Amino acid sequence: MSEEIVVNKNLPTKEIYGELLPQIAALIEPSKHLISNLANFTAAVFNSFGKMSWVEFYLRKGDKLFLGPFQGNTACTMIRIGEGICGTAAERLETVIVPDVNTFPGHIYCDVNTKSEIVLPVISGNELYGVLDIDSYEYSAFDQEDYKYLAELINILTKKINSNKVSLA
Ligand code: SME
């Protein structure tokens, strides 16, 4: 199949996700290597929105998160669970939306230009595989609508990587 993703970036957020969902569902295949699937996932999301400055997976090993496939600038390579926004989402096993990163105690600055962030845990069964971290140079770039669709995208991903029986760590 073609790996090309075609999305009109000028559409409202909800409609962009609507275009993206079936294309990512087709892009991610259990037969492909896990890293290849994660890399294409980040590229598909990153290139579909003007508001995203970073889209990355941090993958869990023990009590640490390691930088995985991503799009954007070079980033912190290791974050402890419980630290920063990523580590907080991993510890709580819940999504964290931060409209202004300067107000989040312990926020880890990988890029001083980052203004807002959303971090979703990637969970399959009882296992925390890692987190999906998305940054923006705009304040309040992410809300419940992003959460809803990104959670759906992660659901597509975890179902497919599950059937591939590949561990992230
Ligand atoms: N800001 C994140 C660290 C990762 S970077 O944004 C790429 C945090 O506080 O966990």
Cβ contact 86:107 at 8 Å: no
Rounded Cα–Cα distance for residues 28 and 33 (Å) = 10
Give the least confident one: 12-16, 31-35, 106-110, 116-120: 31-35
> pLDDT tens, 10-58?
999 999 999 999 999 999 998 888 899 999 999 999 999 999 999 999 9
Contacts of 2 (CB under 8 A, 6+ apart): none
Confidence at residue 43, expressed as pLDDT on a 0 to 100 scale: 97
Rounded Cα–Cα distance for residues 122 and 129 (Å) = 6
Residue 7 lies in a domain: no
Please report, for residues 96, 122, 156, the alpha-carbon distance to residue 69 in angstroms, rounded to integers and kept in the order given: 20, 14, 17
User: Strands 78-80, 64-71: parallel, antiparallel or unpaired by DSSP?
Assistant: antiparallel
Confidence at residue 82, expressed as pLDDT on a 0 to 100 scale: 98
Supply the CATH number for residue 91's domain.
3.30.450.40
Residue 36 lies in a domain: yes
DSSP state of 33: -
Confidence at residue 125, expressed as pLDDT on a 0 to 100 scale: 77
Confidence at residue 147, expressed as pLDDT on a 0 to 100 scale: 98
Place 162 in a pLDDT band, splitting at 50, 70 and 90. Answer: low
Question: What's the average model confidence in pLDDT over 114-120?
Answer: 98
Residue 169 lies in a domain: no
Confidence at residue 161, expressed as pLDDT on a 0 to 100 scale: 79
CA of 108 to the centre of ligand 1 (A): 5
Rounded Cα–Cα distance for residues 68 and 114 (Å) = 19
Give the pair of three-digit tokens for residue 104. Answer: 């989040």
CA of 31 to the centre of ligand 1 (A): 31
Residue 6 lies in a domain: no
Residue 77 lies in a domain: yes
* DSSP-derived 3-state class of residue 53: coil
| Residue ranges making up the domain that contains 40 | 13-163
Confidence at residue 1, expressed as pLDDT on a 0 to 100 scale: 56
Residue 3 lies in a domain: no
* DSSP-derived 3-state class of residue 34: helix
Place 120 in a pLDDT band, splitting at 50, 70 and 90. Answer: very high
Rounded Cα–Cα distance for residues 114 and 58 (Å) = 17
Count the domains in the chain. Answer: 1
Residue 120 lies in a domain: yes
Rounded Cα–Cα distance for residues 35 and 144 (Å) = 28
> pLDDT tens, 59-100?
999 999 999 999 999 999 999 999 999 999 999 999 999 999
Confidence at residue 164, expressed as pLDDT on a 0 to 100 scale: 55
Q: Which of 60, 73, 109, 111 to mutate to test the pocket of ligand 1 (most atoms within 8 A of CB)?
A: 109
Q: What number does the ligand 1 atom closest to the CA of 79 have?
A: 10
Which residue has the least CA distance to atom 6 on ligand 1? 110
